[in-house]
Amino acid sequence: MAIGVKVMSRPDSGVSYVRATLKGMVLTFKHLLQPRVTMQYPEVRSTDDWRIATRWRGTHRMLTDAQGRSKCVACGLCPQICPANCIKLVPGEDEAGNRYPLIYEIDEFRCVFCGYCQEVCPEEAIHVGVHYENAEYSRERFVYDLERLSAQTHPVSTLWDPSDPKGE
């Protein structure tokens, strides 16, 4: 079967390109005079006009107490609520006999960043972070263990506040 070919009727002569070029240049020079909206990322990461939302939900951070120990008590609520099943928790005891996680790992690749873990945490230990730069050289590095989660320094998410739905 023959393939149908549509023949366009383009004028091949008698039309000047000068007019179209000028039109394009007018647009270009118009933008040259307008205020700049592009941000020079990564040199500039936020400006007065634009910064990342405080309720952004990014990679996790575990908060620590005054002694620098994780606040987690291994209650098991975050692995229970996690819809992506990305939190691995093995409870145990620390030296003082308090309940403490022996293993606490979050697979950030599996995580869907819903923030339920932060909402459910009774100790305000695990938080989703205001953070979005996560490049690594290997996939394994995206499984954050307790030490790494506690070492994160980025701010934590405020999550959505029902009394202030628009974040004003």
Partner 1 sequence: MSTDMVTLTIDGITLSVPKGTSVIEAAKQAGIVVPHYCYHPSLPAPAVCRMCLVEIEKLPKLVPSCVTPVAEGQVVHVHSPAAKKAREGVLEFLLINHPLDCPICDQAGECELQDFVFQEGRAGTRYGDEAKRWNPVEDFGPDILYVTNRCILCTRCVRFMDHVADDPVLNVSERGDRAYIGIDPGHRVDHPWAGNIVDLCPVGSLVSKDFLHKARAWDLDKNASICTGCTQGCNIMIDTRDENVVRLRPRPNLEVNRHFICDVGRADYRWMNRGDRVEAPLIGEGDRLHAQDWDVAVERTVAALAAAAGDAVVLIGGRASSETIGWTLQALEGRTVTAAMKVPMGEEAPLAGVPNLALRRERAANLHGALLLGADAPWEAALTVASRAAVVVVLDADLDDAEVEALRGAGIVLHLTTVADPRLPALRAVLPITSVAEEQGVFVNRDGRAQRYLPAKTPPGMARPGWWVASRLWAAGAPDRVAPDTATEALQRLPAFSGLSHRDLGFVGRIVAPVGEAAR
The site for partner 1, by CB under 8 A, has a size of 13
Identify the residue among 55, 63, 64, 73 touching partner 1 (CB under 8 A): 73
Query: What does the CA dihedral 90, 116, 80, 99 come to, rounded to 10 degrees?
Result: 40
Work out the number of other CB atoms within 10 angstroms of the CB of residue 110: 13
Is 99 a binder of partner 1 (CB under 8 A)?
Answer: yes
Query: Do residues 120 and 140 lie in contact, with contact meaning Cβ atoms separated by under 8 Å?
Result: no
Q: Assess 77 for contact with partner 1 (CB under 8 A).
A: yes
> Looking only at Cα atoms, what is the longest distance across the chain?
91
State the minimum distance, in angstroms, from the CB of residue 94 to partner 1: 10
Identify the three-state secondary structure at position 2.
Answer: coil
Q: Are 142 and 58 in contact (CB under 8 A)?
A: no
Q: Which of 80, 103, 109, 119 binds partner 1 (CB under 8 A)?
A: 80
CB of 100 to partner 1, least distance (A): 8
Binding mask 114-153 for partner 1 (x = CB under 8 A): --------xx------------------------------
- Determine, following the binding rule CB under 8 A, whether residue 87 of this chain makes contact with partner 1: no
Which 27-56 residues touch partner 1, going by CB under 8 A? none
E-strand spans in 15-114? 58-62, 87-93, 99-107
107 binds partner 1 (CB under 8 A): no
The 3-state DSSP class for residue 101 equals strand
Q: Which stretch binds partner 1 (CB under 8 A): 7-15, 52-60, 92-100, 127-135?
A: 92-100
Helices (H) and strands (E) in the chain, counts: 4, 5
Residue that is written with structure tokens 């599996």 in the block: 110
Residues that bind partner 1 (CB under 8 A): 73-77, 80, 91-93, 98-99, 122-123
